[in-house]
Structure 1
Amino acid sequence: MTKIKICGLKRKEDIQYVNQLQPDYVGFVFAKSSRQVDLSWARELIQGLDQHIKKVGIFQDMRKEAVNHIAEGCGLDVLQFHGDEEPEYCKAFQREVWKAFRIKDDESFIQMQQYAVAGYLLDTYTAGQYGGSGKTFPWELAVNIKRTGLLIAAGGLHADNVREAIRILKPDIVDVSSGVEKNGLKNFNKMRSFIEKVRE
């Protein structure tokens, strides 16, 4: 069964939605973004989160000490890195690490081979932007990649295309953010529809 991550929670309503819908993972963005939260607000949100749902922190080119401080403060289960973090940097943490790769062409997968992480998140390449583009990448490029960890499909997923993404990529996890939003805010019905499509 493909697991589900809803990324970019920032309101108490978002927490209520996921507690009701029970995705496997939720993401809190600590990198610069319209969905960015700080440590104290994330901690407050997490206090209301169902304990069965795993917590992922999204970071970009942040000092290790700052990442560890946030991870400890929020009790994060997974650290997801979206910037230009080096392989050695990704090895330096005690928690589970996922590294995001922006997929443009076949060359994009060469870089992946250098990383020994628990999860490889495939996102869409957009010049000057790390994640959150709302656009898909050519999924066929990733069909034959070597897997040494979890494969997480991201980038432009929504209820109408997620089943096709699962059919082609066979990911361990699908990751959605803007695809379950309306006017920049998480929408309960879109989240429910996405989760139902995946779990069908």
Structure 2
Amino acid sequence: MNGLNLKIKVCGMKHQQNVDELLELGVDYLGNIFYDQSPRSISQTGVKLTVNPAKKVGVFVKESIDVVKEKVKLHQFDVVQLHGADSNEICKQVKELGIEVWRVCPITNGYDFSELQKFPDADYFLFDTKTEKHGGSGKKFDWSLLQRIDKESPKKYFLAGGIGPIDAKEIKSLQLEKLYGLDLNSKFEIEPGLKNVELLKEFLNELRAS
């Protein structure tokens, strides 16, 4: 796959200056986490980040639709990313707000791919490594599953989970028709919530090179 075609999301943003630096790299999505158990959470900080022209993603873990609606209105999210969404109903309710919804699928070797049919209102899936922390673990799942994911997924999807600076070459070699984008986080950090701009720049340059 040509890396030029992949959308890039950087998750766990907490600082406006860091956001501004990443916007210069041409990232497509920037994520804010609302999960108190994450060191990248902004739910208790009152921070409101401006991410134009990138799209702004609100990341929620097993959250009520009322809280999601409140945060969408306050932060003007373009996308809501849902961890722990056990039914399509919350996806449907988010869609009714007029924004995109991504459903996170925590992957293990025994993942039940029939689950993917239960979320018709999700715009995209995001395949991440299953952990108790719901993302940001820096751990990959078994990428030998990617061919099956590509076959079984009824939607285009983002790849997440431990993607790091050394992975650009392998990602470029993947032959996956439905892979839409990459979700980058902990492997590109100076500390939780603060991204290493130079590392990201080098990775994206390699990914985008012909």
Could you state the TM-score of these two structures normalised by the residue count of structure 2? Answer: 0.85
Per-residue deviation, residues 170-195 of structure 1 (Å, max 9, x unmatched): 32100000121124331111121222
Note the residue ranges of structure 1 that are not aligned, 5 or more in a row. none
Instruction: Kindly indicate whether residue 203 of structure 2 is the aligned counterpart of residue 194 of structure 1.
Output: yes
Task: Give SS of 2:46's match.
Answer: helix
Question: 137, 151, 158: which is aligned to 1:152?
Answer: 158
Task: Give SS of 2:182's match.
Answer: strand
Task: Give SS of 2:152's match.
Answer: coil
Give % identity: 30
Provide the C-alpha distance between the structure 1 equivalents of 2:46 and 2:175, rounded to a whole number of angstroms. Answer: 35
Provide the C-alpha distance between the structure 1 equivalents of 2:103 and 2:67, rounded to a whole number of angstroms. Answer: 17
Provide the C-alpha distance between the structure 2 equivalents of 1:79 and 1:173, rounded to a whole number of angstroms. Answer: 16
Cα distance change on mapping 1:15 and 1:115 into 2, 3 Å: same
Per-residue deviation, residues 54-96 of structure 1 (Å, max 9, x unmatched): 1111001111011011111111111001124322221111221
Contact 1:42 1:74 in 2 (8 A): no
Match in the other structure for 1:182: 190
Aligned pairs for 1:1-200 (under 5 A) are: 1-32=5-36, 33-38=38-43, 41-43=46-48, 45-46=49-50, 49=51, 51-93=52-94, 94=96, 95-116=99-120, 117-126=122-131, 128-144=132-148, 145-168=151-174, 170=176, 171-184=179-192, 185-200=194-209
Shift of 1:169: 6.0
Cα distance change on mapping 1:192 and 1:16 into 2, 3 Å: same
Provide the C-alpha distance between the structure 2 equivalents of 1:13 and 1:42, rounded to a whole number of angstroms. Answer: 12
Provide the C-alpha distance between the structure 1 equivalents of 2:172 and 2:105, rounded to a whole number of angstroms. Answer: 18
Provide the C-alpha distance between the structure 2 equivalents of 1:15 and 1:129, rounded to a whole number of angstroms. Answer: 24
Q: Which residue identity does 1:97 align to in structure 2?
A: V
Contact 1:106 1:141 in 2 (8 A): no
Could you state the TM-score of these two structures normalised by the residue count of structure 1? Answer: 0.89
Provide the C-alpha distance between the structure 2 equivalents of 1:24 and 1:39, rounded to a whole number of angstroms. Answer: 26
Task: Give SS of 1:92's match.
Answer: helix
Task: Give SS of 2:30's match.
Answer: strand
Contact 1:8 1:29 in 2 (8 A): yes
Per-residue deviation, residues 80-137 of structure 1 (Å, max 9, x unmatched): 01124322221111221101111102434232221111111000122x2311110111
Aligned length: 195
Provide the C-alpha distance between the structure 2 equivalents of 1:99 and 1:15, rounded to a whole number of angstroms. Answer: 24
